[in-house]
Structures are given as C-alpha cells and as structure tokens.
Structure 1
Amino acid sequence: MNIEQFYPLFLQANQVTIDSRKVEKNDIFFAFSGENFNAATLAGEALEKGALAVIVEQKNFEDKAKNIFYVPSTLEFLQELAIHHRRQQQIPVIGLTGSNGKTTTKEIIHAVLSEKFSVQYTLGNLNNHIGVPLTLLSIKPEHEMAVIEMGANHQKEIEFLCSIAQPNFGYITNFGKAHLEGFGGFKGVIKGKSELYGYLKNNGQTIIVNENDPVQVEKTEGYTPKITFGKKDSEYYFELFSEGNFVGLFYEGDSAVSKLTGDYNFTNLCAAASLGLHFGIGFGKIKDAIENYMPTNMRSQIVKKEGRTLVLDTYNANPSSMQASLHNFITFEGSKTIIIGDMLELGDESEKEHAAILKLAEELGFDQIITVGKNFRNVHSSPLSFENTAALTEYLKVNKIKSENILLKGSRGIALEKSVNFI
C-alpha cells in the first residue's frame, strides 16, 4: 500500500484516529503499537465500530478485502499521508512554536481569524510528530486556513515538523528557559526554535516578528516578507491596556480586553491581532474575538471560587514563564498565596533555577509560599514544601488557604489542578 493508492480512500473518511476507543463510523484507524501492546489486534473491533479502513504494521493482520492494510511503519505512513494531504491544500498555513504561550497564542489566532474564515487548528496540545500530522489530516475542503502548533524539546524537531506542516507563515512566541536538558541550554533553545525561521527563509515564506524581542529581530534582520509588530514604526503597533487583572490592547482609538491575566499575554494578543489585520479583518471583529475568547485550558485561566480568585496556570512551567507569572500575580490586589510546582526537564540547571524562583518569590513578598515537587523540596526547607500533589491535597483537606488570591503554577507532570477542589 502506498500513499497515492490510499489517498482516494482517505478522502472518503470522516477523520483519522490513533485511539481505538474513539473510532466512529467511516473513520480511519491507525493501529499504533508499543513495546508491550499490539494495536493490530484491535483492527476487527475498529471495523465493527464502522471504521472505513485500518492501518497495521504487522503483515499477518492484513486483510485487503476488509480494508485492513499493512505498512512497515504506521507512524511513517501517517506522516507521509499528512505531507501528501498538505500538498493538496491551497490555503495559508500558519506555524507556531516558542518556549511559552504557544497554545494560548494559537487559540487566540484561531479566534481572530475565525471572524472571517473557516479555520482548522491544533486541538489541545497535539503539537508533536504525531499531533501535527493528525491536525493536517483533519483539514477539510471547507477550511480556508490552518493554524498549526509545533512543540519541541530537542534540536531538529521543529525542522522535521516544518517539513510536514509546510507553513506559509510562522511565528515564534519567545525564547525561554524551557526543555533546557533536551536542547542543551538556552543557546540550544534559540537554535532549535529558530529552525522555523530556517524553513520559512528557505522557502520564501512570511515571518511574523515581535520587534520588542531582540532575538527575533536579529534572526530575521534583512529578511522579507515579514509582518512586524511591537514598536511605533512596526507595521502594526498596539499599546498595553488592562482592566483589573485582565490584559488587553489598545489600537487606533479602540481597546480590546481579554479574559487572560498577565502582561506576558499582551504579545500573544498582538500577534493574533496583527495576523487578523494582515488578512483584512477589521479591529472591531478582532476586538469581539479577543473579548469572547474564554481560556479553559489551565493556561492563565482565572477562576472565581468562594469569593476568592484562583489563577490556574498548571499546564506547563519553566523558569521564564514562572518568573513572568510571579511578577504578574504580585500586582493583584489583596492577600496572595502561591502554590508552585516543579519545573521539569531542566537537567543540570534544575537546582539553580528552582532556587532562583524560590528566592524571587520570597523577595516579592507573597503572604504564603507553597511548593510541590522534589526539586523545590531540595531548596525549600519548609512545612509548606510537599513532595507531590497528593501530599498537598492531604494538607489542604484540613488547612484552608485564607488568601483572597491564589496562584497555581507548575509543570504538567505535577498536575497541580488536582488540588483545586480542596482549596
């Protein structure tokens, strides 16, 4: 079975899935197997659910009469199918990467562009070598644009994802201290994320540049085409505007205030607004999109509970985003407690970075500092330092936090959101 032979069948399908539990009528099921599990054994079950076809990588399970097809690698076939499908699309594809704010920026861009166009975009956090192909394969004839988030934790990963997504526009949110272990330090982060610039330059595509970021300016100097924002002489210029704890932007006499907290989200809003204006969307519509966007993904999400304000930012954390969150949270009016969880994948820099964040938290003067995770516990000798979220939860069951404002910020692996019901 090759891509050209299979593609007409793919075009008849509703969607592609790698989860047998989610197979529905007319879907294509890719049977991904692990070391201890042979997903090809689920081929029959998938067909019973109405699957149009099943892709397996065990020859003895192939049954062409039933549309069970063998390929040497289900992953490589998925990626090759996505590349082939992408090449058929004559629509703009916007590629996003960066250390912080990728998902939030992607969702705001989707909200803005959807004011005028039918836009497909990365669902959730499906931004890796499997998620990017799945997103591309979900593009249908009615879609007029696509926004593809690309994540990475080592060199050459963004380069590979670009070869699949083939973006026409690209934006790097920022360069921060994330995945230091895999990238080989901060310089490695810049090099790895800049692979998006490399692809765009090599293919004559458009780069979106925040001209307040010196690294972005340096890496794109002298290149065209590009869309710029950030400074008064940029193509698009916005001013920071806020109401209470919510951040927004001001543009040509009008303002738009989001339901996001943190000045660090200002550039995310600017990137989305710049793309909207570039594609002919009036600021009134952009304002509607920004003000109607409701964060629900544990990223800069504000929750009101029993008269208190909780800031949930528990999907990811690294030294750069943690520092920004603490500086933002200290500006909240009223008493403040922070619950901060370990920042993972920092390698040899871990102890130093956790100690620096703890020192910053103490200097900012929060009413209460609670830490969760072994890395913070190594540098925080306090009864309010817990080894994991389960231990924190047990504490919260009998000790109510009295502060008016509570920040929860940590890496995905710490799962601080599990403690919310006990706060």
Structure 2
Amino acid sequence: MTSTPALYDKFLECSGVSTDTRRIAPDSLFVALKGASFDGNQFAEQALAAGAKYAVVDDPSVASQQPRCLLVEDGLLALQDLARHHRQTLTIPVVGLSGSNGKTTTKELIAAVLSTRFRTYATVGNLNNHIGVPLTILSIRTEGDGPAYEMAVVEMGANHQREIALLCSIAQPTHGLLTNVGKAHLEGFGGIAGVRKGKGELYDYLIETGGTVFINSRDKVLMTMYRERLKTTRSDNTFANVIFYPADEPAGAQIELLSESPVTYRDATGETVTHLPGQYNFDNMLAAMAVGYQFGVTVAEANQAIAAYNPTNNRSQVVLRGSNTVLLDAYNANPSSMAAAIRQFAAMTAPRKVVVLGDMYELGDESAAEHAALGKLIADAKFDLVLLAGKDMKYALESLPTAYYFPDKFSLHNWVMDHPMTDTHFLIKGSRGMGLESVVPFI
C-alpha cells in the first residue's frame, strides 16, 4: 500500500490532480473513485494513456498490471488524506464559507475583493463537496511552477450533518463565515434544526481552532447560533476572533442601500452600482467587504471589485432577450432562496412581470407543504403570469388557479415558444436538476 507521505511525493512530481479521464492534464495524478454505477479503477489505464503520470487505484488487480499505478486502501480516503497533508504545508490564510443560499456568489465576490491585493485562489465552479474540496486544496500551490497564491477562498457545501466538519478537517480554514441558514437539503439534514446544527459545524471548527469568524450582525439566526456555541464551548462566553458585519465596518465604510434592482449603495467614497439584484445579494456583498477589510483592502478597492463582478453562472444573472429582461437564477433553489427571489422580483418596477419556476429538490417529506407555501407567496405577489414546471410544483397550484402548470420543462419550452412576449421581465428559478436555463432561448 502507498502511504500518504509517499503518495504526496508522487503528487509533487505531477502537474495537478484529476478524477475524470475526460479531462486529463499532461503529467497529472489520476485518482480512481467509485460511484453507484462506475468504478474509476477500470479507467486507470486510459488515464495513463491520456497523459497522467500516475494513477491512484484501490483495486490490486489493476495495480499489478501497471507500474505507474499506486495502490491505496480506498481511493476517496486517499484523495482526502492527500489534501489534508498538502494543506498542512500551506501557510496562507484560507477563508472557508458555507450557508444555505448564496455560497457561490459570495465566494466569487470575496475572491474578487481579495484579488485587488493578493494572488487569490478560489473554488472553481461548485467543487464544494467531499470530492471537490480536496481537489480545491490540491490546486493551491504556493511555490514551484505556476502562480504562488497568497490567499484561498474555499466553498463548502453539505446536505447532511458532519459533512461540514469533514470538509473543515480537509480545508482547515483560518477564517470563515456562513452566508445564512435556511430551508435547504431538509431531507438529508433531518429538518431545519438539523440544517442549523450541520452548517454550524463551521463555527465549531473556527472557535475550537482559534480562527476568525465573520457574522452578519443583522441575521438573527446566525447571531443565535453564535451565542449558543459560546455557551457550550467557552466558559467565559467570549470569543475574541469574531468580526460582526456591518457593525464592525471601518470608518468611511458605512453603507446606505439605495436600490435593489440592481443593488446600488452609497458610502463615504461615493455611489456604487453593481450587476446583482436583491437584498440577499447586498448581504453577500457586505460579507465580501468584511473579509476584504480584515486583510487590508480599502473601501474604494472593495467597491471597485464588487461593481466589476458580473455573474455568468446562472446565479443572479441578467440576460437581455430583445425587449425582454431575464433574471436567471436557475442554478439552485430551496424554500428560503425562492422566497427571497420572489420578494425581490415583486418589489421591482417593470411593465410586465412573469415568473418561471421549477421544483425545489431534496425537501423529503416537507416537499408538498413547502411547494404549497410557495404558491401562497407567489399569489400574494400578484405577478402578471405564473409558469410552473415539475412534479411537485402542482402543490403550488392550490393558491394559483390561473397559473400554467407543466409536468416537465419540455412542455414548458413549447408553451413559451408558442406565446411570444415583449417588454417583459422574467424571473427563472428552480433546482439544478430542473435545468431551467434551457427556457431562455425560447423567450
């Protein structure tokens, strides 16, 4: 068996790490992983032929056939242990973040702000789970070939308890924050109390290791979670390394929100217009500012970075289609993020407003009730037209007798194509599995 130190020596000879034979970089380290319907060991030879320098496998029969195969007990655990070992060689600050909504947007904003002064590495896309976080850590090099990073921003996602604790043990953040805690992944976490406990594992890790915690002082749930942890982890009920935002803003950074469509704010440096809509994105900006200020980024530098950020990842993205404006937020959805998006869209000024909404996944036994509650919220907003797609969106119809319902998105495509609209604002939102961005070309 190949030990972690021995495997690390091989890793240092490689250009990077890959778990996908479709994307093998020259001289990379291929790690064979197993899934419900695949066994990466069977692709080790293919990875080596495609340019990998070594292949990490946990099948002795595969390892015996190829001298460049490195045998380990378990491929996934080897990947995670390798990332832990590499993390311990890094001396740079690592900002870890999680939350029910807004993780990726906040990660991108933090990275944009920090990049004004530091060479910053941030999680690519949404590589934020038990595989993605190790790959993220292993991509951070501070010497040798390539850029020498001075900061890292690591996004951590979870759909069950103890997952954030695992990811913290790998990423070992020195700083961290939760964007919020809401109704996401209720099925895996076992309800909203389970979500709070699971997401709070980031606070637990930072408090126990003496890291720095950033907390939105206006978020009652986050403040309550913080106080609960102080009572159980510290006898004096104090924790020095906490920064409350916006309460702890530096002089000159006191911000006045002027508009939510898009977010426009004013501080001592003047007025800043962004590309993102909604109060929820303003909170994400405040988090990025707080992190930046902690590391010496000026107010002006932070504002410039936030103003320049323009999403292209189906999250809070504005797409123009002729005379129509599409607010595309189709990367993910849960009851909390849906409610925030609907309220923000309802508050917008537009000649005609249409919502195109898809199912919210991973709600378990709460799915029918949560979709029904969503229907009531939509009804109160009084949009000009409501289009619903997905098997569970039928529960929202109880409060929306005039809504159009489509059991799948393909019949939705046909309806939208057959009913062209102009001078209309659209909100498109649904869980990732719905893939509702496919509606945009038909608008």
Contact 2:256–2:267, Cα closer than 8 Å, also in 1? no
2:113 paired residue number: 112
Measured after TM superposition, the shift of residue 338 of structure 1 is: 0.4
Measured after TM superposition, the shift of residue 36 of structure 1 is: 4.0
Measured after TM superposition, the shift of residue 403 of structure 1 is: 5.2
Instruction: Measure the CA separation in 2 of the matches of 1:153 and 1:49.
Output: 34
2:214 paired residue number: 208
Taking only aligned residues, the RMSD between alpha carbons, in angstroms, comes to: 1.8
Give the match's secondary structure for 1:420: helix
Q: TM-score, normalised by structure 2?
A: 0.91
Instruction: Measure the CA separation in 2 of the matches of 1:88 and 1:422.
Output: 50
**2:434 alignment partner AA:** I
Measured after TM superposition, the shift of residue 255 of structure 1 is: 3.1
2:426 equivalent among 406, 418, 422 = 406
1:132 paired residue number: 133
1:375 paired residue number: 392
Percent of aligned positions that are identical: 43
1:101 paired residue number: 102
Rate the CA distance shift 1:328–1:36 in 2: closer, same or farther, 3 A: closer
Contact 1:248–1:269, Cα closer than 8 Å, also in 2? no
1:280 paired residue number: 296
1:20-64 CA-to-partner distances (Å, cap 9, x unmatched) read 011121111112233443322322222222211111111011159
Point out the more displaced range, 238-247 or 174-183.
238-247
Give the match's secondary structure for 1:302: strand
Contact 2:213–2:243, Cα closer than 8 Å, also in 1? yes
1:41 paired residue number: 42
Rate the CA distance shift 1:36–1:181 in 2: closer, same or farther, 3 A: closer
How many corresponding residue pairs? Answer: 422
1:147-226 matches, within 5 Å, as: 147-221=153-227, 222-226=238-242
1:391 paired residue number: 411
2:347 equivalent among 321, 331, 355 = 331
**2:343 alignment partner AA:** H
Measured after TM superposition, the shift of residue 268 of structure 1 is: 0.5
Instruction: Measure the CA separation in 1 of the matches of 2:320 and 2:174.
Output: 40
1:197-346 matches, within 5 Å, as: 197-221=203-227, 222-231=238-247, 238-242=254-258, 245-333=261-349, 334-346=351-363
Rate the CA distance shift 1:102–1:36 in 2: closer, same or farther, 3 A: closer
Structure 2, gaps ≥5 residues long: 143-147, 228-237
Contact 2:259–2:265, Cα closer than 8 Å, also in 1? no
Instruction: Measure the CA separation in 1 of the matches of 2:320 and 2:258.
Output: 19
Q: TM-score, normalised by structure 1?
A: 0.95
Contact 1:241–1:255, Cα closer than 8 Å, also in 2? no
**2:295 alignment partner AA:** F
Measured after TM superposition, the shift of residue 326 of structure 1 is: 0.8
**1:59 alignment partner AA:** P
Structure 1, gaps ≥5 residues long: none
2:232 paired residue number: none
2:145 matched to 1:144? Answer: no
Measured after TM superposition, the shift of residue 275 of structure 1 is: 1.1
**1:168 alignment partner AA:** T
Measured after TM superposition, the shift of residue 400 of structure 1 is: 1.6
